[in-house]
Chain A
Amino acid sequence: AQSVAQPEDQVNVAEGNPLTVKCTYSVSGNPYLFWYVQYPNRGLQFLLKYITGDNLVKGSYGFEAEFNKSQTSFHLKKPSALVSDSALYFCAVRGGNTGFQKLVFGTGTRLLVSP
């Protein structure tokens, strides 16, 4: 069975500093990995995905994520955080061998960027 772990419930960072939100996964076959962001009382917005190719994936709003196969990780990063980045972030995986096309989400990490 596929699973996703986000070990941090909350990440605090000062504006202008780099941020990292951690994600590790477990899946059969090649993983398809996604990051989504959720603002209060809103649905999820797609940030970026890894399918194949370069391990460093660039996405929306200056975010990027690095796929590390040996560590089964897909950490979300941003070089310089903004207060407006404060939100709930979800990592998700879909297994390559899965015929049923559903995403499995992590528990989410709340990012708080202080001015």
Chain B
Amino acid sequence: GAVVSQHPSRVICKSGTSVKIECRSLDFQATTMFWYRQFPKQSLMLMATSNEGSKATYEQGVEKDKFLINHASLTLSTLTVTSAHPEDSSFYICSARDAGTGGQNTEAFFGQGTRLTVV
């Protein structure tokens, strides 16, 4: 299957600082990428949908000024957690679908996730 690379896999930051997480599609173009947050022993919560060349679409309850998303190219989307606080500590996962074959019936491919710890 297609490869989605997410970086870093683990990051620890101080409260009040910002952290950027990158999501890259390595062997396909992704006009749309998705950012999820996963709490311990819970399911994935969709935070936002990242569209190449346009503004991201955020799910209800997700602060767009806190979780900045940029999708500047067909292979890269970034999530920046601004002014991070301990409650932002979580596992963040991105996914992408192949723009060339990405109809409703195609699966999404996921990055390996980023464990963010804010101290």
**B115 to A41, Cβ gap below 8 A?**
yes
Whether the Cβ atoms of A43 and B6 lie closer than 8 Å is yes
- Whether A105 contacts B43 in the complex (CB less than 8 A), given A41-B113, A43-B110, A43-B112, comes out as yes
Q: Within 8 Å CB of B49, what residues of A?
A: 100, 102
In the bound complex, residues from chain B placing their C-beta under 8 Å from that of A41 are 9-10, 91, 113, 115
Q: Which residue of B lies closest to A6 (CB)?
A: B43
Within A80-111, which residues are at the interface with B (CB < 8 Å)? 90, 94, 96, 98, 100-103, 105-108
Interface size class of chain A, counting residues whose CB lies under 8 Å from the partner chain: 20 to 34
Interface range for B:
20 to 34
Nearest A-chain residue to B36, judged by Cβ: A105
Q: Digitize B61-84: 1 where CB-to-A-CB distance is under 8 Å, 0 elsewhere.
A: 000000000000000000000000
Inter-subunit contact B43/A36 (CB<8 Å): no
A106 touches B93 (CB 8 A): no
| Residues of chain B lying within 8 A (CB to CB) of residue A42 | 112-113
Contacts of B95 in A (CB 8 A): 43-44
A49 interfacial by beta-carbon distance below 8 Å? yes
Is there an interface contact between A102 and B46, defined as CB atoms closer than 8 Å? Answer: yes
Chain B positions within 8 Å of A, measured between CB atoms, are 1, 4, 6, 9-10, 32, 34, 41-44, 46, 49, 91, 93, 95, 97, 102, 104-105, 107-113, 115
- Where the two chains meet, the residues of A that have a C-beta atom closer than 8 Å to any C-beta of B are 32, 34, 36, 41-46, 49, 51-52, 90, 94, 96, 98, 100-103, 105-108
With A32-B105, A44-B44 given, name 13 new contacts (CB 8 A): A32-B104, A34-B107, A43-B110, A94-B104, A98-B104, A101-B102, A102-B34, A103-B34, A103-B46, A105-B43, A107-B43, A108-B41, A108-B43
